[in-house]
Structure 1
Amino acid sequence: MKSVNEQQLQMGLDTSGDVTVNPDGSPVPQAQVIRNVLAQGQLADRVGVDFFGVGEHHRPDFAVSAPDVVLAGLATSTERIHLGSAVTVLSSDDPIRVFQRFSTINALSNGRAEVVLGRGSFTESFPLFGYKLEDYDQLFADKLELFSRVASEEPFNWNPGDRNPLRNQRVYPETEGGLARWIAVGGSPESVVRAAQYKTPLMLAIIGGPASRFKPFVDLYHRANRELGNGELPVAVHSPGHIAETDAEAQEQIVEHWITNRNKIGRERGWGQASKEQFDQEIKHGSLYVGSPETVAQKIAKTVSALGVNRFDLKYSNGPLPHEYSMRSIELYGTEVILRVREILGLKDDA
């Protein structure tokens, strides 16, 4: 495996389109949240961020249920940034339509689209679109196989028994150089190996605990690729965080919103109540990247170096954290953090 000094390190941002509040605590309508996401992506483009990802959810605390539509808007209002999902819940979608939507974004953006495929850590889309949760794993396996055939952009056959068979089928619009795609994994060895089997770059969602605990998954992925004769494929990390001028300011801005968001999801999943102590521990020893540009850059560089990854995506949206704070965080990430990370790692500024 190449060292990070020999790699091209990309630095991205992700949002789940969390429904936010204004600085005075009043709620922001979902329609405005979507417009704010557009402004955030445009700012990320201007300040030099490499990738902007938009997540998919189907619940009241997230405004974006159709990230590809938001990405299409960004495709025509940005110039250089790569645009993708974070993630597309392939299990409850139609693989052919997913490809068609993202190949359209690819056309609108002159080849800057990326699709990140996952099973989804939230399950609201399954009953909404008529799928059974007990089929969670099989749905993803079957749909990933179909998507891989479609994405080859070669004529394919498909006869799974639950839909009309396809014979020598092509799907349009065609791309001008292929569609970039990733498989998102939360920490299952089987999922890591499957990404290698499909010769697809790996996106690791590290949202709690020390990032170093994912090193065995990175090693497994590279070993599987070598055994399969795939060559070297990229690995990316997605983790939450927030940036302000100082550590104290960043923590003060996010702590209440982080705890609110963590407890809302925790109640649904049977987790214990989050606390300020847990928040502090995640910043010091876990995968919460909160602080000044220097603090966040040092921590990102440590993770990139420890895991040997090719991309780091900061999930900058944090529950109801106000849009104004996120905009400043994006600005600091693009103008200070990215340059500092590359400096710490000894990479060229144009890496």
Structure 2
Amino acid sequence: MKKIEFGLMTFADMAPETASGKGFNAHQRIKNLLEEIKLADDLGIDVFGIGEHHRPDYAVSSPTTVLAAAAAVTKNIKLSSAVTVLSSEDPVRVYQQFATVDAISGGRAEIMAGRGSFIESFPLFGFDLNDYNELFEEKLDLLLKINKEEKISWSGTLRAPIHDLGVYPRALNGELPIWLAAGGTPTSAVRAAKLHLPLMLAIIGGMPSQFAPFINLYNKFALENGVKPEDLQVGINNHMFVGEDGEKTADEFFPYYAQMMDRVGRSRGWQPMSREQFEFMRSPEGSLMVGSVEQVVEKIIYEYELFGFTRFFAQASMGFVPHELTMKSIELFATQVIPEVKRRLGVN
């Protein structure tokens, strides 16, 4: 029987601090986040991912720190970044930090590497945006080499070379799982396929069917480059919020979602989100999974028929939604949505 993994992820949105130089809101948001991860673990969800940002409206700039805290209070759930902005990180430190989370968790750490759709980390850490693509390619090459070899020799153009040095500690089970995150750029699909890396696609707008050629491209190149059909791994990520009554849930969630999308969209030239646009995204073939258990089940199955994914990631902790509503959504996802999807698809 086929297996699909179901996961949750978050960027840990928070209201910017009201007291200059203080971290009161971050303290509460991270406390809530650890409760979300523990609940997900208790309810049998497979994986939890945490994003990296360097802005006043997100609480986590260091995913590995929060994942390490989560590792100490969970038992089974896999713990991943979502994503690690590899272009502005040092691959040696990335590997070391995740190997440490791996040690704390007993082998449950994963890396999801991406170029990042937010660019604030580049000037913060002294990187030139003109090197955006080259930074990612070079650092991914180094990270993959470190993951496979205890002692490495490596040279590039944007980082000092390494001459026969070991990187420690090592992952518990030999290598860390590394996923490549993408937003739909064909070159990302081809890169992941050629490197034999699992691919995670974020669908945060438009129609999911628009992304079918992207996944088909990844599958085609992966198979041509020696990946066995049974080893193909594709993940899909959608925004999700589940309630017991579909329309009530939509009414409850819309103000928070519109506020979040408008906040992000202001710097990208997006128009303010209307209720009409929100409802279009909630439609059966839209990208937004907001509504009743049955509505969300139907949309996950629809996307499975489009993509044949092996992992479904729900971004289910978004905006300034009250913590208790997020916890209820996670509970419904774990106890009702996932079992029904598995039953109807005939998967483990």
TM-score class, shorter: over 0.9
- Are 2:190 and 1:199 equivalent residues in the alignment? no
The SS at the match of 1:326 is: helix
1:169 aligns with 2:155: no
Show CA shifts across 1:40-99 (max 9, x none).
000000111111111111111111111110000111100111110110000110011001
State the AA in 2 paired with 1:152.
K
C-alpha contact 1:253 1:325 (8 A) present in aligned 2: no
Alpha-carbon separation, structure 2, partners of 1:50 and 1:250: 25
| Aligned partner (choices 51, 66, 72) of residue 70 of structure 1 | 66
The C-alpha deviation readout for 1:179-231, integer Å capped at 9, x for no partner, is 01100010011111101121110000111112121111111111111111122
Distance 1:274 1:340 in 2: 31
Aligned partners of 1:153 and 1:174 also within 8 Å: no
1:94 aligned residue = 90
Kindly indicate whether the alpha-carbon contact (under 8 Å) linking 1:208 and 1:288 is maintained by their aligned counterparts in 2: yes
- Note the C-alpha offset of 1:273: 1.7
Distance in 2 separating the partners of 1:246 and 1:120: 35
SS of structure 1 residue aligned to 2:254: helix
8 A contact 2:99–2:172 mirrored in 1: no
Q: Distance in 2 between matches of 1:175 and 1:260?
A: 40
Residue 298 of structure 1 is matched in structure 2 by 298
Q: Report the counterpart of residue 271 of structure 1 in structure 2.
A: 270
State yes or no: 1:107 paired with 2:106: no
- Give the Å deviation of 1:155: 2.7
SS in structure 1 of the partner of residue 55 of structure 2: coil
CA distance in 1, matches of 2:272, 2:249: 22
Counterpart among 224, 230, 235 of residue 227 in structure 2: 230
Q: Deviations over 1:237-257 (max 9, x none)?
A: 011010111102211221001
Deviation for aligned residue 1:176: 2.5
The residue correspondences of 1:48-63 to structure 2 (distance < 5 A) are 48-63=44-59
Alpha carbons of structure 1 residues 137 and 163: separation in structure 2 relative to 1, 3 Å: closer
Decide which of 13, 17, 22 is 1:18's aligned counterpart.
13
TM-score (normalised: structure 2): 0.94
Q: Distance in 2 between matches of 1:132 and 1:161?
A: 13
**Contact preservation (8 Å) 1:298, 1:344:** no
Output the CA distance in 2 between the equivalents of 1:164 and 1:308.
41
User: Aligned residues, how many?
Assistant: 338
SS in 2 for 1:167: strand
TM-score (norm 1): 0.93
Q: Specify the alignment match of 1:341 in structure 2.
A: 341
- Structure 1: which 5+ residue stretches go unaligned? 1-5, 22-27
**Structure 1 consecutive aligned stretches of length 4 or more whose deviation exceeds 4 Å:** none
1:254/1:318 contact within 8 Å kept: no
Partner Cα separation in structure 2 for residue 69 and residue 152 of structure 1: 23
Local SS of the residue matching 1:76: helix
CA distance in structure 1 between the aligned counterparts of 2:65 and 2:216, rounded to whole angstroms: 36
Aligned residue number for residue 186 of structure 1: 183
Percent identity of paired positions between Structure 1 and Structure 2: 45
Cα distance in 1 between the residues matched to 2:183 and 2:288: 16
Report how far residue 233 of structure 1 moved.
2.2
The residue aligned with 2:287 is: 287
